[in-house]
Amino acid sequence: MKLVRRGDRSALRELFDRHHRQVFGFVLGRLGDADPSEDVAQEVFIRVWRYRDSYDTDRRFLPWLYRITRNLLSDSKSGPVLDSPGNDAPSSHLPPDEQFEERQRAEKVRSAVLGLPPAQREVLLLSRWSGMTYREIGDIVGCSEGAVKVRVHRALEALRSPLAPLRED
């Protein structure tokens, strides 16, 4: 990020290559539709470039990146719509019947996650997609590390029952 701050566009490309997939996955978890999620993920890196001078190089990059992502999602006033069909293309190497089953499982997971309270859903997505610590997630969402732990735990507990049949398959 130090090189990006100096105006090095190739360093920005490297950051994009390294973190785009994580950002896209988090945004997709919030929006549920691949095309708008890709647009938002790209806009995140445009903002990284635009606001590169505000980045504190003494701090970790990922929390700053996800704060930009979260702010962009809030600015767009797009609430989570995880139940958009057809976003999880099953692996094409699977036979058609297994592709169908994989798509069905993905829809069950999406529906269960959509049923979580927004605060639990957000910290769960951040904890699973970002690789950040609970403390860093807490800084982003404005709560303590302990509160993040509780929210993640409650989210996982809430998902246990509706997703139990998937573990048996």
Same domain, 102 and 159: yes
pLDDT at 145 over 80: yes
Asked whether residue 84 is domain-assigned, the answer is: no
pTM higher than the cut 0.85: no
CA 90 – CA 105 distance, rounded (Å): 10
Three-state SS at 26: helix
pLDDT for the residue 154: 96
Q: What is the pLDDT of residues 60-107, one digit of tens each?
A: 899 999 999 999 988 765 444 333 333 444 455 667 877 787 888 888
Same domain, 67 and 112: no
Contacts (Cβ under 8 Å, ≥6 apart) of 6: none
Q: How many domains does the chain have?
A: 2
In this prediction, residues 116-134 reach a mean pLDDT of 87
Give the chain's count of helices (H) and strands (E): 8, 0
Q: Which domain holds residue 142?
A: 96-164
% residues pLDDT > 90 (the chain): 49
pLDDT for the residue 90: 47
Contacts (Cβ under 8 Å, ≥6 apart) of 69: 23, 26, 27, 40, 41, 44
pLDDT for the residue 77: 54
